[in-house]
Amino acid sequence: MRVVIVGGGVLGTMHAWRALENGHEVVHLEREPEARGASVRNFGLVWISGRAAGEELDLALRARRAWGHLATEVPALGFRANGSLTVLRSAAELAVAEEMVERPETAERGTKLLTADEARMLNPALHGEMRAALWCEQDAAVEPRTAQPAIRAHLAATGRYTWLPGREVREVAETSVRDDSGTRHDADVVVLCTGAALGGLVRELRPELPVRRVRLQMMQTEPLDEALPTSVADADSLRYYPAYRGAALDELNRLEPQSPMAADNGMQLLMVQRADGSLTIGDTHGYAEPFPFDVHEGPYDHLRRRVEELLGRSLPPVTRRWAGVYAQCAETSRVVHREQLRSGVWLVTGPGGRGMTGSPAIAEDTMIEAGLCEAGS
């Protein structure tokens, strides 16, 4: 079949990959010269840690396997199975981890509770004080700024893939789309992966979409002069991710409330080292629109202090700061909003912070629902 995909972010790119894998022809449109949304403004984490048991974890694990498979075909992804350490610094934080590792899905995640010495053997760059750490072997990372172009170059080699940047889609019919150059692209199936662009065409097609937007702030440093072999999280991630919920987390929140700066900005610390040695650090979560057009220094100061506590040293100079917006299902337990808007036309959006992690599996599920492949193919 001929598949037209609208949206050049990681979700649209993975839909193109899946369609081509199943023998179809793909025309891929993106309104910007290059994707500029949440797909490039993130950590590049393939993040199994903290995913809710059940559908969300199952999807993340399927996606993790797919990323590993794709990396054998596209080495330029910069994929690395680096795992992650969530640093625990108090008895109450340790209790949350102890409760979590007793759950039945722990082995699937590859999660273990490590002593401080064991954690430093995996990541000697963590010179700061720590009581223990949670190790998640299944966590991985890619390079978000270059992953999509690398995948597209791989897809172009099939001879069945056409990339058309700088084309904003204005009209969607059952058998075609029309872009703002006036060109009509025939299609058997159209997949709209428009990310956080929920107005315009998307609003016309689906006026009451059960998806909200979330704003984040992040930063990147100059290269660190030592390797950071694993991704790193702090204990605020225990408060953020659903896998840690339970009596021990309730007790942590009672005994050691989150700092006002972190609580007011929906913060956790995540940190990953890029291929060039620099550190990507974040992040905040803002839900109330209209979002501010500027970035606030308070959260960056908080992140800098927290990183320096974990590294036991000064942070390299910050070279970049940015804000981004992603789409999240209003019912946050839902992994993604996938809907057939009309015959042959599908809208896929709202994975929230799961988009980079889950996109290969989300795209596979779309292919099955749209009749473009069979389950297990």
d(CA 124, CA 116): 11
Phi-psi region of 182 (alpha: psi -120 to 50; beta: other; left: phi over 0): left
The burial class, CB within 10 Å (0-12 / 13-18 / 19+), for 234 is: buried
User: Do 177 and 319 fall into the same domain?
Assistant: no
264 CB-near residues (< 8 Å, 6+ apart): none
Looking at the structure, tell me whether residues 20 and 129 fall in a common domain: no
Task: Check whether residue 346 and residue 233 sit in a common domain.
Answer: no
CB 356 within 8 A of CB 45: yes
In this structure, the answer to whether residues 153 and 295 fall within a common structural domain is no
- Residue 178's H or E segment, with its range, is strand 176-179
Kindly list the distances between the CA atom of residue 153 and the CA atoms of 21, 79, 354, in Å, as whole numbers in the listed order. 15, 16, 24
- The CATH number assigned to the domain holding 14 equals 3.50.50.60
Share of the chain above pLDDT 90, in %: 97
Domain of residue 160: give its range.
2-40+145-210+333-369
d(CA 300, CA 43): 16
The answer to whether residue 376 scores a pLDDT higher than 80 is no
pLDDT band at residue 85 under the 50/70/90 scheme: very high
Q: What's the pLDDT tens digit per position in 269-284?
A: 999 999 999 999 999 9
Predicted local confidence at residue 374, as pLDDT: 83
pLDDT > 70: what percent of the chain? 99
Amino acid at 195: G
| pLDDT attached to residue 228 | 98
pTM of the predicted model as reported, rounded to 2 decimal places: 0.96
Q: For 112-137, what is each residue's pLDDT tens digit? A: 999 999 999 999 999 999 999 999 99
Residue 76 counted as domain residue:
no
- Interval 245-249 mean pLDDT: 97
What does the pLDDT average to over 146-172? 97
Specify the number of domains making up the chain: 2
In contact, 10 and 39? CB cutoff 8 Å? yes
Let me know whether 96 and 232 are in one domain: yes
Residue 75 preceded by cis peptide, ω within 30: no
Q: Which residue in the block uniquely carries the two structure tokens 């994975």?
A: 351
**226 and 119: one domain?**
yes
Mean pLDDT (whole number) for 186-199: 95
CATH number at residue 267: 3.30.9.10
For residue 297, pLDDT over 80 is answered with: yes
Instruction: Please check whether residue 54 lies inside any domain of the structure.
Output: no
Mean pLDDT score of the chain? 96
Q: Where are the alpha helices (DSSP H) in 224-296?
A: 236-240, 247-255, 260-264
Same domain, 103 and 202: no
Burial class of 331 by CB neighbour count within 10 A (0 to 12, 13 to 18, 19+)? exposed
Q: Sorting pLDDT into bands at 50, 70 and 90, what band is 377?
A: low
Q: How confident is the model at residue 223 (pLDDT cuts 50, 70, 90)?
A: very high
Mean pLDDT over 36-64 rounds to 95
166 phi-psi bin (left φ>0, alpha ψ -120 to 50, beta other): left
CA atoms within 13 A on the CB side of 212: 13
